[in-house]
Amino acid sequence: MNSFDANAQRAKLNALRGKFTKQPNQLQKSSDKALFKAKLNQPQIVRIVPTADGEIPIQELKFYFNLGVTEKVGDRNYNINVLSPSCYGESDPIEMFAEMFTTENSEEYKNMNPEIKSKLLYKLRSQSKYYLPVIIRNQEAQGIKYWGVTEKLLQSILDNMEKDGHLIYDPVNGRDMKVWIEDMGSYKQTKFELGMVKPLSDDASAVESLMNKDSHPKLVDQFSKKEFNELQTILYQVLEPYSEKKTEEPKQEDTGRDYTAVHNSAPEVETTEEVKEEVKVEEDPFGDLPF
């Protein structure tokens, strides 16, 4: 029996669309993980897979894209996007420090040069990426994979989420999507087109299996997770160039929400010293990152 409730899905999609309208504009190989990436000039056909739990098939994860953390894979160095532990219910010292840095009127920060503060916040603020469970046509045996999209691309998908009265991930009356990356000259852009109405599968038992929660890999398990003390060390390394006084690298702290841990890593800045030029590292949704 088809348990897909289109009306309930529409209500949840409207709530998600509302979230964006209220906002300002704003390591491991993928073959080892259940992740899908579009290819340059090579269209692939995918289908968004609904779940049986009634939730819309979109999950949000938060990453740090600008910490300057790199790892070597083969003979190349990659900038690593660091997953926030808050995505899997653990304490995040970087998030804790950023929250304190922006809300507390303490002696350490009240005289900080606004330009320096802005540069630090750029490095320390997490950004969201959104993931949709999909199957790749003609590769269905590989199971469900997660397609990671930026907020801008997600908004475009949401604008096309319903066609002719049916949601595109409806298991019976939904639509496949042709997805590819197009070289626009100075930049690359992910594009998609909707196909004709087509069932998720002609086999009813296959549809039931795909919609089963157990068929969906756990999204956070597709990314490496850093321990609290590792993130503390990264935080120290980000803050250290901006500190007038060099402090000792923080020791491992308890993983509870103890603000002492992040206070110890804070810079004691009362200076307008010149800051090194910062090269903005943009999120790369086009497959250049190792995960």
Report the alpha-carbon distance of residue 98 to residue 125 in Å, rounded: 7
58 in any annotated domain: yes
185 in any annotated domain: yes
pLDDT at 180: 97
Q: Among 242, 276, 16, which residue's Cα sits nearest to residue 108?
A: 242
pLDDT at 149: 96
* Calculated CA dihedral for residues 161, 162, 168, 172, nearest 10 degrees: 160
280 in any annotated domain: no
The pTM assigned to this predicted structure is 0.75
19 in any annotated domain: yes
290 in any annotated domain: no
Coil, strand or helix: which one is 72? strand
CATH number at residue 186: 3.90.198.10
One pLDDT digit (tens) per residue for the chain, 291 residues:
567 888 889 888 888 887 776 544 434 444 579 999 999 999 999 999 998 888 999 999 999 999 988 877 778 888 889 999 999 999 999 999 988 887 765 566 667 788 888 888 899 999 999 999 999 999 999 999 999 999 999 999 999 999 999 999 999 999 999 999 999 999 999 999 999 999 999 999 999 999 998 899 999 999 999 999 999 999 999 988 877 654 455 555 554 555 454 455 444 444 333 333 333 333 444 343 433
DSSP run (H or E) holding 212:
none
pLDDT at 260: 52
Q: How many domains does the chain have?
A: 1
* Calculated CA dihedral for residues 84, 87, 89, 95, nearest 10 degrees: 40
206 in any annotated domain: yes
Report the alpha-carbon distance of residue 123 to residue 112 in Å, rounded: 16
Token digits of residue 270 = 């009362």
pLDDT at 3: 78
Domain that holds residue 165: 6-263
Q: Is 147 left (phi over 0), alpha (psi -120 to 50) or beta?
A: beta
